[in-house]
Amino acid sequence: MKKVTLLLVAISLVLGINTANAQKKAAFLSIYETVNDIFDDDEKAAAEWFTTAYGGDFLPVSALATTDLSQYGVLWLHVDDDYFPAVPDDYLENNVMGKITNYYKSGGNLLLSGYGVSYLTELGRFDQPLPPNGPVGSGVGSNNPDVWYATAAYGTWAENPVANVIDHSGDPIYEGLTFEMILRTNGVEYKHFPLLGPGWKEDHNCFWHLDMPTPYDNGNPQKFQYIYDTYKATPLATWDHIGDYYGGAIMRWDAWNDFQGKCITIGIGAYEWKQNDRVNPYQANIERLTKNALDELKTSGTGLPELKIAKEAVKVKVYSVNGIRIGEYSKEQFNMTGLAKGVYIVSLYAADGSLIATQKVIK
């Protein structure tokens, strides 16, 4: 065998990958029959980007009965209609719920954004319904002169030691996003990711404040460890003005109990696909955040989809389970033998910087 082939086989073994698996696709789930039929401007903009720039399939719920969902590595549900502070009834019908539940439980992955975040509760994955256990905004919005950010750094207020800061800004979901370094009250600068520029904002937050399911308050970092141990869920971002451990505005939900699939939820109000009165100067961050989430979910569980895809990998990045970057390697340099025993996230990237695969590795 050639050296490159041997290396790829080694990577496949480390990641627990079956390189013979066919590449999975991605689908945008909708109650509408076509993209052009979508009423809400944000839902429509998301679906247009997904089917054109990302190259995914548009999947009406009316087609679920005759669609083999096993061909999809991820289903994306984005709901942002002003009339619904939660998931519309069309997604809650038994024929829809049953098909998506079976898909999720059998290892299919979900990206839930906007009001679609609350679908996680409807599917039975989390026992805290939205509302009342989190902020859910459904107004038409107002004019606002500020830039809205997501922050991945929790516990940054002045009284909290720097050692208790939980910072996920190095997580693969933020790969390639532009950011600003902002000084927090503990005297340290952290990355903030701008998502929505000045102008009219709808402010459609839909996420859990995460107060109810834990015995710890928002000032205790043990809260997040409890959430992961109990629900296999990791809060990755909150509002930029938060300095404690409040809120899971972006979250990753690993396989848990009957649900063998993985899910990412994006419910922060700054995640707006079409800014009403102007072009969002941070639209590229919205798109890159979504692409990173879709790429991770599309390949999760199937690893490198084909050997010919694996050959495109030029860079390997290794992260701790908390999103802290451990190392970055060329394909030829990649080796985990020097790492301590533990849980790691390994991501492979192509020459153009796009994510090929992400896999959790237990060493």
Q: For the domain that residue 353 is a member of, what is the CATH number?
A: 2.60.40
Distance of CA 116 to the CA centre of its chain: 13
Which pLDDT belongs to residue 5? 33
> Does a cis peptide bond (omega within 30 degrees of 0) precede residue 281?
no
- Alpha-carbon distance of 303 to 356, in angstroms, equals 9
Among candidate residues 302, 324, 352, the one where a domain is terminated: 302
Range of the domain at 296: 22-302
Instruction: Kindly state whether residues 119 and 180 are assigned to the same domain.
Output: yes
Instruction: Kindly state whether residues 347 and 205 are assigned to the same domain.
Output: no
Instruction: Kindly state whether residues 200 and 341 are assigned to the same domain.
Output: no
Tokens encoding 301: 């569980």
Low-confidence ranges of the chain (pLDDT < 50): 1-22, 302-309
- Alpha-carbon distance of 173 to 183, in angstroms, equals 22
Which pLDDT belongs to residue 315? 83
Residue whose pair of structure tokens reads 């079409």 in the numeric block:
274
Among candidate residues 302, 321, 353, the one where a domain is terminated: 302
Instruction: Kindly state whether residues 163 and 246 are assigned to the same domain.
Output: yes
Parallel, antiparallel or unpaired: strands 250-253 and 233-239 = antiparallel
Q: Assign 274 to helix, strand or coil.
A: coil
> How many domains would you assign to the chain?
2
Question: 81 and 87 in contact (C-beta within 8 Å)?
Answer: no
Which pLDDT belongs to residue 313? 79
| Local structure of residue 54 (DSSP, 8 states) | I
- Alpha-carbon distance of 58 to 88, in angstroms, equals 18
Which pLDDT belongs to residue 168? 95
Instruction: Kindly state whether residues 99 and 187 are assigned to the same domain.
Output: yes
**Nearby residues of 360 by Cβ (< 8 Å), 6 or more positions away:** 254, 321, 343, 344, 345, 346
pTM to 2 decimal places: 0.80
Instruction: Kindly state whether residues 76 and 201 are assigned to the same domain.
Output: yes
Instruction: Kindly state whether residues 316 and 275 are assigned to the same domain.
Output: no
- Alpha-carbon distance of 112 to 266, in angstroms, equals 6
Q: Assign 52 to helix, strand or coil.
A: helix
Question: 242 and 270 in contact (C-beta within 8 Å)?
Answer: no
- Alpha-carbon distance of 156 to 287, in angstroms, equals 28
Cβ count within 10 A of residue 228: 15
Parallel, antiparallel or unpaired: strands 25-30 and 57-60 = parallel
Which pLDDT belongs to residue 348? 82
Instruction: Kindly state whether residues 9 and 50 are assigned to the same domain.
Output: no
Instruction: Kindly state whether residues 133 and 182 are assigned to the same domain.
Output: yes
Instruction: Kindly state whether residues 292 and 318 are assigned to the same domain.
Output: no
Instruction: Kindly state whether residues 179 and 328 are assigned to the same domain.
Output: no
Rg (Cα) of the chain, in Å, rounded? 20
Instruction: Kindly state whether residues 205 and 314 are assigned to the same domain.
Output: no
- Alpha-carbon distance of 361 to 363, in angstroms, equals 6
Cα distances (Å, whole numbers) of residue 151 to 88, 169, 184, 250: 29, 8, 11, 10
